[in-house]
Amino acid sequence: MGKKTKIFLYALAGLFLLIQIYPMEQPEVTDVNPDDLLKNVDISENVASMLKSACYDCHSNESTYPWYANIAPVKWWIYDHINQGREDLNFSVWNTLSKADQAEALDDIATAVMEGEMPLKPYPITHPKAKLSEEDKQAISDWTEILAEKLFE
């Protein structure tokens, strides 16, 4: 190995260690969520398990962190997605939303899923259970419509 290559590699390793110090708080996790969607609405096992495995890591207070999620720079990116995801839609506080907000969220969910925008790429690559087939997407979309209708009965 040439001297320049060595210096470059040491610098890279140093930089990697240095960025680990940069503080960024891990989004909090709790499994005590009495207002959670799955505890409060009519939902089939099938759709519930799809939401759990394809959405809950970013859209609930029950995020699970793989080991690489705690290593910078990946962690900056993952924590950011979770913070942003929860801000837009947090299934853990579903029952605290107004009916109008729930209806809007259901509509957004159907659109995001049918158009393949959600789950966010490349999440399904590392979480194979989050891959949704056309049939899965349709099942989620159908469920959002049924629930939205029930809201205003």
Q: How far apart are CA 151 and CA 120, in angstroms?
A: 27
Q: Which stretch binds ligand HEC (CB under 6 A): 25-33, 38-46, 65-73, 118-126?
A: 118-126
Answer yes or no whether residue 94 interacts with ligand HEC by CB under 6 A: no
Answer yes or no whether residue 123 interacts with ligand HEC by CB under 6 A: yes
Cβ atoms of 120 and 58 closer than 8 Å: yes
Answer yes or no whether residue 54 interacts with ligand HEC by CB under 6 A: yes
What does the chain come to in residues?
153
Q: Which stretch binds ligand HEC (CB under 6 A): 7-15, 36-44, 66-74, 113-121?
A: 113-121
Q: How far apart are CA 134 and CA 111, in angstroms?
A: 13
Q: Out of 37, 47, 58, 148, which residue is the one contacting ligand HEC (CB under 6 A)?
A: 58
Q: How many CA atoms lie within 13 A of 66 on its CB side?
A: 8
Give CA separation, 20 vs 4, 15, 73, 76, in Å.
Answer: 25, 9, 8, 10
Q: Which residues inside 23-52 make contact with ligand HEC, applying CB under 6 A?
A: none
Answer yes or no whether residue 86 interacts with ligand HEC by CB under 6 A: no
Task: Output 67 or 153, the one with its CB closest to ligand HEC.
Answer: 67
Cβ atoms of 145 and 42 closer than 8 Å: no
Answer yes or no whether residue 148 interacts with ligand HEC by CB under 6 A: no
